Amino acid sequence: MIDFIKLVENILEEQGKTKQDLFKNNVISENTFFKYRQRCPSLKTVINVANYLKVSLDYLFDFTSENHFKEYKEDKFHFYENLISYIDSKKISARQFCKDLGYSKDNIIRWKNGVQPTIQRLLEMAEYFGCSIDDLI
């Protein structure tokens, strides 16, 4: 499991900020933040934190050492279309993709209907396709 808290703390330290800045600026509540010791945050939470810190998801999750931040807007996500494009470029079926990653085929249907994947799933897919998280969303 990813250590979201540690990743955020590293960025905060780079920027001369503290966790208290996140809480004080209503980016995330303290109680919610510390729940991520046991579970992964939602994509929405990660986006809120990334936008506040002005970092790309790839930079936040150590996929790159260069920060190519552009503000994230959920209504601008094209995850499902991008996913299908990556599946097609790999010349595999959606069924094979799900099998390779151990996902239920129902996930594809949910994503087609606009449900966003978890950040853990995005990280797995980025690794599988050899692309960035930002490219997927």
pLDDT tier at 77, thresholds 50, 70, 90? confident
How many domains in the chain?
A: 2
> Model's pTM, two decimal places?
0.85
Residue positions counted in the chain = 137
Indicate whether 11 belongs to any domain: yes
Domain range enclosing 103: 74-136
Say whether both 79 and 126 belong to one domain. yes
Say whether both 50 and 78 belong to one domain. no
Lowest mean pLDDT among 14-18, 41-45, 46-50, 90-94: 41-45
Query: If we measure between CA atoms, which residue out of 95, 92, 100, 101 comes closest to residue 120?
Result: 101
Indicate whether 66 belongs to any domain: no
pLDDT in tens, 11-43: 999 999 999 999 999 999 999 999 998 888 888
Structure tokens at 119: 């950040």
Rounded to a whole number, what is the distance in angstroms from the first to the last CA of the chain? 21
Indicate whether 65 belongs to any domain: no
Q: What is the CATH number of the domain that holds 92?
A: 1.10.260.40
Say whether both 47 and 91 belong to one domain. no
Indicate whether 68 belongs to any domain: no
**Element at 83 (helix H, strand E):** helix 79-89
Which pLDDT does position 74 carry in this prediction?
76
Handedness of CA 18, 117, 87, 125 (dihedral sign): positive
pLDDT tier at 1, thresholds 50, 70, 90? low
